């Protein structure tokens, strides 16, 4: 099976300035990889190895010091801020360890928000309901985040990440805050959504059980890619 490449990372480097000093901390030290359409990729590495930095670069939330990230034929650094936000909203969904839902809005409203921001409320409400049903929350549409369990909140966050029908969902330790049983059910949900919608997933995780179930694992070791573990 040959499938399309949706994201290409080339000679990626990211340096941070250390406070006021002229010292430079090189966190990402020249890495290359690709993601194919529909692929499920795990990124593992010890704390501080640059996993979140890499994810932010992939999603165009941060700029590399050198090298490039190309998503669906467009290089983030060639886009102005407006084009970049539009490209990100169209193609990328983010899920974080903490759900970042808006507390005063219901599950349904939280999932509708990306559509409202993009200016299509009609289609997005129907689709938001469909997504919430897919993540098993058809009976919880009008609950506030405070009225949901941790696993349910993370399911809403996943539904929200899918609301704009992205090509790629980037997840930074999405189950890191959940008990093992809930984490497993969230993982099963991701596998089902991947199969159903053909969306590519990148999951940063500490959990080898999760990494094992995805298509491929890349490990970040001291800013470079470690041995391939697929």
Contact 103, 145 (CB under 8 A): yes
Q: Kindly state whether residue 114 participates in binding ligand ADP, applying the rule CB under 6 A.
A: no
Q: How far is the CB of 190 from Mg ion (least distance, A)?
A: 19
Near ligand ADP by CB under 6 A: residue from 7, 27, 31, 203 = 27
Q: How far is the CB of 24 from Mg ion (least distance, A)?
A: 20
Q: Kindly state whether residue 45 participates in binding ligand ADP, applying the rule CB under 6 A.
A: yes
Between CA 195 and CA 190 the distance in angstroms is: 9
By beta carbon distance, the residue nearest Mg ion is 52
Near ligand ADP by CB under 6 A: residue from 50, 60, 64, 93 = 50
Q: Which does 198 bind (CB under 5 to 8 A by kind): ligand ADP, Mg ion, none?
A: none
Between CA 51 and CA 172 the distance in angstroms is: 8
Chain positions 51 to 70 lying near ligand ADP, rule: CB under 6 A, are 51-53
DSSP classification of residue 211? H
Near ligand ADP by CB under 6 A: residue from 2, 21, 22, 47 = 47
DSSP classification of residue 129? H
Rounded to 10 degrees, the C-alpha dihedral 104/107/110/115 comes to -150
Near Mg ion by CB under 5 A: residue from 35, 40, 52, 202 = 52
Query: Which run of H or of E encompasses 7?
Result: strand 5-17
- Which among 69, 83, 8, 41 is positioned nearest to 204, based on CA atoms? 41
Residues lying near ligand ADP in the complex (CB under 6 A) are found at: 16, 25, 27, 45, 47-53
């Amino acid at each position: 099976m040959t499938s399309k490449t949706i994201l290409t990372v080339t000679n990626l480097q990211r340096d941070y300035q250390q406070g006021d000093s002229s010292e430079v901390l090189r966190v990402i030290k020249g890495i290359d990889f690709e993601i194919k359409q529909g692929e499920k990729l795990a990124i593992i590495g010890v704390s501080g190895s640059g996993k979140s930095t890499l994810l932010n670069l992939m999603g165009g939330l941060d700029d590399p010091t050198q090298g490039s990230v190309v998503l669906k034929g467009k290089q983030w650094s060639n886009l102005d801020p407006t084009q970049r936000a539009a490209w990100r909203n169209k193609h990328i969904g983010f899920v974080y360890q903490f759900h970042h839902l808006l507390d005063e809005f219901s599950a349904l409203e939280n999932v509708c928000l990306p559509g409202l921001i993009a200016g299509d409320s009609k289609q997005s409400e129907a689709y938001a309901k469909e997504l919430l049903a897919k993540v098993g929350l058809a009976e919880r549409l009008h609950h506030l985040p405070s009225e949901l369990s941790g696993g349910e909140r993370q399911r809403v966050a996943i539904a929200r990440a899918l609301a704009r029908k992205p090509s790629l969902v980037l997840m930074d330790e999405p189950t890191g805050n959940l008990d093992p049983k809930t984490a497993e059910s969230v993982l099963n949900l991701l596998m089902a959504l991947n199969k159903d919608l053909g969306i590519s997933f990148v999951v940063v995780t500490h959990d080898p059980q999760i990494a094992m179930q995805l298509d491929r694992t890349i490990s970040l070791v001291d800013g470079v890619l470690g041995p391939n573990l697929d």
